[in-house]
Every structure is written in structure tokens, then in C-alpha cells.
Amino acid sequence: MASREERYEAAETLKNAGNLAAAVQALEEVVADEPDFALAHSALAAWCTRLERHEEAVKHARRVCELEPKDPFSYTALSVACMRGGLIAEAEDALARSRTLQGG
């Protein structure tokens, strides 16, 4: 079986070829097998946002924050996903958390 990194790269190839829906499906399979793979959840948050699948994007962005709680970018990405999904209060909270982690 291919490694999680190889499977991630295959999903990236699908995305780069313009097949974003298939890329998301491929990464969903990766995180089903590897639920702690933060990079895959991060990509899913971004790609689901692009597909306007906001609930899924927020779910994956939240998971990244659980896995990478000291990474300010994780909270910035959560803020964007929440904003696009209409979760304004959570978006503002995530952005504030990102700024706190950055020391600002």
C-alpha cells in the first residue's frame, strides 16, 4: 500500500489536473486511514472551501487546530473556513487565537 505521503501527492496531482472533487475524495480516504495527518486535513479544509463545502471545510480546519494547537496558521485557516461558512464569531475567535500565538 502507498504511504500517506504518496497518497497525498496523488490527491495533489488530481487537484492540479483540475479535478478538485476527486482530489477531495482521495484525501478523505487518506484521513479515514490516517486521522492524525494534519497536512491532509489542512488541504481538505482549503479544497472543501473552494468547492463551497463549508461544513466539511470547518470540520477539517478544526481538526488541524486539534493536531497543531501551537501553529498560528492553523487558526488563521480555521478563521477563513469559518468566515466563508458564515460562522463569524468562531472566525473571529480563531483569528484572535492566531494573533495570540504569533505574539501579537
Domains of the chain, by residue range, sit at 4-101
How far apart are the C-alpha atoms of 74 and 100, rounded to whole Å?
Answer: 13
Is-contact 95 79, C-beta < 8 A?
A: yes
pLDDT at residue 24, rounded to an integer: 98
Output the CA–CA distances (angstroms, integers) from residue 97 to 18, 59, 65, 69, in the order listed.
34, 17, 10, 10
CATH number of 4-101: 1.25.40.10
Sign of the CA dihedral with 81 first, then 84, 85, and 87 last: positive
Spell out the per-residue pLDDT of the chain, length 104, in tens. Answer: 899 999 999 999 999 999 999 999 999 999 999 999 999 999 999 999 999 999 999 999 999 999 999 999 999 999 999 999 999 999 999 999 999 999 86
